[in-house]
Amino acid sequence: MSLANDVVLDVRGLHKRFTLHLRGGVELPVLHDVSLQVRRGDCVALVGPSGQGKSTLMKCLYGSYGADAGQIVFQGEGGLLDLAQASPHQMLAQRRRAIAYVSQFLRTVPRVPALDVVAERALQAHPEPADGEPDDEAQHAEALETARDAARVLLRRLNLPTALWSLPPATFSGGEQQRINIARGFVEPARLLLLDEPTASLDAANRRVVVQLIEEAKARGTAVVGIFHDEEVRDAVATRCVELGTPSDR
């Protein structure tokens, strides 16, 4: 297993189907022999009509869905890894530092304030304490503040009113929740960034901010895979478009 120079992600012959046991075992094939290579600084936009498996592919990359066949070779934290075969712990390790996912839904523990929802992603990326040793209080407080500072920067850029930062996001509007999701995805640099409709509920000004954030990530060498129904955004950030079900261009 090896990757050419700049390649961060190499999807090879990925197959995914759903077997619906509750409907008598009906099988729904969704991904058929999907291959895709993403390089550092690339932004691949998955395009095409609904139902072709765009979200499914994203979730396979993140590990939320399992693949039935094929490989997902990733230049991840600690070396090369086939994500399709990764153990839960390997996947968790990659999600902590190497892979970020901005989904369409925001699910958080009920009382955590918006600022901390974002800050905790940055905090998670820190080196883990030794087995069984709790963090030193002072060290933790310092790390938390640094993470919160990074979170504040992003929330400001995304024009999220300061008044909301200390509130739990459960009662926020769709657009506000989406901005939390985005901030959480960008607060810690990652090798692979997965964006599922990142601008769906945003106004023009915030869409521009998201475009900027994506450009900055690309410039840092992050590989981006995204689903953008907003053509303007897509045209601004995508280095190429890929339609699933058709042979990808490399």
Partner 1 sequence: MTSIEPLLQVRALGHRFPSVRGGPWAVCDASFELFAGEVVAIVGESGSGKSTLLNAVGARLRPLAGQVLYRTAAGAWVDVHAAPERQRRELARSEWGFVEQAAADGLRLNVSAGANIGERLMGRGDRHYGRLRATAADWMQRVELDPARIDDAPRAFSGGMRQRLQIARNLVTQPRLVLMDEPTSGLDVSVQARLLDLIRHLSQRLHLCALIVTHDLGVARLLAQRTLVMHEGRIVEQGLTDRVLDDPQHPYTQLLVSSVVAP
Binding stretches for partner 1 (CB under 8 A): 18-22, 59, 63-66, 78-79, 81, 88-93, 107-112, 128-129, 131-135, 140
Q: CB of 179 within 8 A of CB of 155?
A: yes
Partner residues linked to 37 by β-bridges: 10
Rounded distance between C-alpha atoms, residue 91 and residue 106, angstroms: 20
Least distance from partner 1 to the Cβ atom of residue 227, Å: 17
Q: CB of 73 within 8 A of CB of 82?
A: yes
Q: Which is nearer to partner 1, 45 or 99 (CB)?
A: 99
Backbone CA torsion sign across 57, 106, 40, 92? negative
Partner residues linked to 47 by β-bridges: 243
For 9, half-sphere exposure in the C-beta direction (CA atoms, 13 angstrom radius) is 32
Q: Which is nearer to partner 1, 64 or 173 (CB)?
A: 64
Rounded distance between C-alpha atoms, residue 77 and residue 35, angstroms: 22
Q: Which is nearer to partner 1, 91 or 241 (CB)?
A: 91
Least distance from partner 1 to the Cβ atom of residue 205, Å: 32
Least distance from partner 1 to the Cβ atom of residue 155, Å: 21
Least distance from partner 1 to the Cβ atom of residue 132, Å: 5
Rounded distance between C-alpha atoms, residue 20 and residue 4, angstroms: 38
Rounded distance between C-alpha atoms, residue 159 and residue 85, angstroms: 40
Least distance from partner 1 to the Cβ atom of residue 228, Å: 22
Strands (E), 21-174: 26-39, 43-47, 69-76, 79-82, 99-102
Q: Which is nearer to partner 1, 49 or 132 (CB)?
A: 132
Least distance from partner 1 to the Cβ atom of residue 209, Å: 28
Residue 143 belongs to what H/E stretch? helix 137-157
Q: Which is nearer to partner 1, 21 or 161 (CB)?
A: 21
Q: Which is nearer to partner 1, 18 or 153 (CB)?
A: 18
